[in-house]
Amino acid sequence: MRHVIIGGSIAGISAAKAIRQSDPSAEVTVLSGEKARPYYRPMIPFLIRKGDIDITFEGDLEKRYGFAVAYEKAAGIDVAKKEVRLESGRNISYDRLLIATGSRAVVPAIPGIRGEAVFTLRTAQDARSIGKSAEKARSAVVLGGGLVGIKTAIALRKAGLGVTIVEKLDCILPGKFDRRGSEIISNIVEREGIRVLAGMSIVEAVRAEGELRGVRLSSGDTLDAGMLIVAAGTRPDLDAVKDTGIRTQTGIVIDENLRTSVPDIYAAGDVVEYTDLVFGRPAVSALWTNAEEMGRLAGRNMAGGKAKYEGFLSVLNSSEIFDVPVMAIGLVEPDPLSREYESLVEDNVDSYRKLVFKGSVLVGAVFINDVENAGIYTNLIRSRMPIGGLKEEAIKGSLRYINFIRTVPEQTMSA
Amino acid sequence: MKQIFVRPELCMGCRSCEIGCAVQHSKDKTLFSAVLQSPPPSPRLFVESAEDIKMPVICRHCEEAPCLNGCISGCLYRDEKGFVRRKKERCIGCWSCMMLCPFGVITRDKEKRIAVKCDRCHKLDLPACVNACPTGALQLVDLDEVPKEIRSRTVLSGARAYRP
């Protein structure tokens, strides 16, 4: 069986591993559009300050798992002939195909945004370019207050630049943290010298003779900036599936076995649109952990398995913001008008915990500077196990694994 | 392969396993120097109790380990013996593994800002926690040799965690 995987990041690599583990005779080719050994993409903000740290997958993937990575970009798919067209002009045939092309940065149409000193952060190369430019710049504006924007801002601040985050919505981390959590994180980054302007947009990247001088804001004010980093979100990279008939909405639509609407073609990772376990509706994930899981299951199914994918949590973030651990999992900010949800909050001087319940089922959690045992909560959210009687322990943080274990009376055991 | 087998019905909650673990992971690996070490060494397994049960909760080195699969930095890896271990120098303290471990057995080294977890005492024949357990609640066994009824009893009680 000949498997081809378009995309050399985590979804593609974990699929390739899974295929080879399920079927050691399978022939697997991974096509990577990036001319770089597969690497841990979430690590790229660290490359801004230290361009030479090693973030690649260790070891020889080919030797260890028996698949080859071809550094070629796919230009299209001929579904009838079961061939992938490469940009080099070559065609490569497949029995089973995985689309794991990931996502790309969204760049809003703003006058002056095209040109030098404007960056997005999606690849290791992007990060190194930002780092290089930061050596000469004194100040930077980051458009977008999501996690990528914040991590970029932190790296640039640590590199000594004056940094301003401009977020269109009225708080940073919109959709990813609850309002109070966002406020706390905002305070942390501002305390460290990053300016946060929420509820503001950039209407122009101001240039003089082509050179970036700053940005003009919706308020009318102008900010000086030698660099502009656009971190305004991502969208699935659907270029490869153009004219294939593969069903897409925001991303590629898959069934519970991670198959697309076209036979023998699977999809996994950021490019996919699938059920969010707590929102109960389709979402795109853009998260490493989810992409790894989707790739692994898709690979297993491509090799003949029948793994069923239940869905992901599109909010599943853990990070450290200037030495403060922060986590958000699941549904963190329920509609205040809805009576379906109950939020329990412990808002202390140096820590913050919030749990969101739907009846007796935990559906969301936010932890700031008190993150011990967080995995127990993540697992409760994923498994949707009712924990009605343990809400008090849960918000106090005394919930443990043992709370879910009961000794089994002897007579219920079958010999 | 031999695995650590937990028998909750034999655990009396003495926490000898925690002490054994912390000492093994201290600088000099002796109790006397471990108690003087600052900050004190921390155990990687935890005796927990609920109304009708006590038991050490320990890393399972899961076959599909959420911590390993979710590690974003390449710190966690599976060694040649099948144990999920750390390359400490690659940990960036993002705590993704903590967010994902359903057993709650990954903790933070707040000084070094790195994740701490069980390494199955990979250099020892007998893990320190098993060695320290006076009642047999922690045993190192070949699971195929454990009588089926004892095994299924434990598996069944463990599986309750996931039953809705």
Average pLDDT over residues A106-115: 96
pLDDT per position as a tens digit, A32-79:
999 889 999 999 999 999 999 999 998 888 888 999 999 999 999 999
Which has the minimum average pLDDT: A137-141, A177-181, A318-322, B39-43?
B39-43
Q: Which residues of chain B have pLDDT under 50?
A: 156, 158-164
Distance from CA of A91 to the nearest CA of B (A): 33
Taking CA–CA distances from A413, the nearest residue in chain B reads B153
Which among B100, B92, B91, B44 has a CA at the least distance from the CA of B69?
B100
User: What H or E segment, with its residue span, contains residue A377?
Assistant: helix A374-383
B50 CB within 8 Å of a chain A CB: yes
Residue to test with chain A: of B99, B101, B111, most A Cβ within 10 A? B99
The pLDDT of residue A407 is above 60: no
Alpha-carbon span A214 to A203, nearest angstrom: 11
As a whole number, mean pLDDT of residues A230-257 equals 97
Tokens of B81: 């013996």
Mention every residue, 6+ apart, whose C-beta is less than 8 A from residue A80. Answer: none
Are the beta carbons of A65 and A17 closer than 8 angstroms?
A: yes
Any CB–CB contact under 8 A between B151 and chain A? no
Q: What predicted TM-score, i.e. pTM, was given to this entire model? A: 0.94
Helical packing angle, A147-158 and A179-191, nearest 10°: 10
Distances, alpha carbon A113 to alpha carbons A21, A125, B121, in Å:
46, 19, 55
**Cα dihedral sign for A136, A141, A144, A147?**
positive
Q: Which of residues 70-129 of B touch A (CB under 8 A)?
A: 70, 72-74, 77, 92-108, 113
Q: What is the dihedral of CA B50, B52, B58, B60, to 10 degrees?
A: -120
Q: What is the mean pLDDT of chain A?
A: 95
The pLDDT value given to residue B152: 65
Residue B59 has a pLDDT of: 96
Which residue in A40, A405, A415 is closest to B73 by CB distance? A40
A407 and B157 within 8 Å at the Cβ level: the answer is yes
Q: Which helix (H) or strand (E) holds A134?
A: helix A124-134
In what helix (H) or strand (E) does residue A127 lie, and over which residues does it extend? helix A124-134
Residue of A315, A401, A406 best to disrupt the B interface, most CBs of B under 10 A: A401
pLDDT score for A186: 98
- Report how far residue A63's alpha carbon sits from residue A15's, in angstroms, rounded to the nearest whole number: 16
Give every strand in the sheet of A324-330, ordered side by side.
Answer: A316-321, A324-330, A361-368, A352-358, A341-347
Task: Taking residues A289-317, report their average pLDDT.
Answer: 97
Q: Would you state the pLDDT for residue A413?
A: 39
> Nearest CA to CA, how far is A107 from chain B (Å)?
26
Q: What is the pLDDT of residue A415?
A: 35
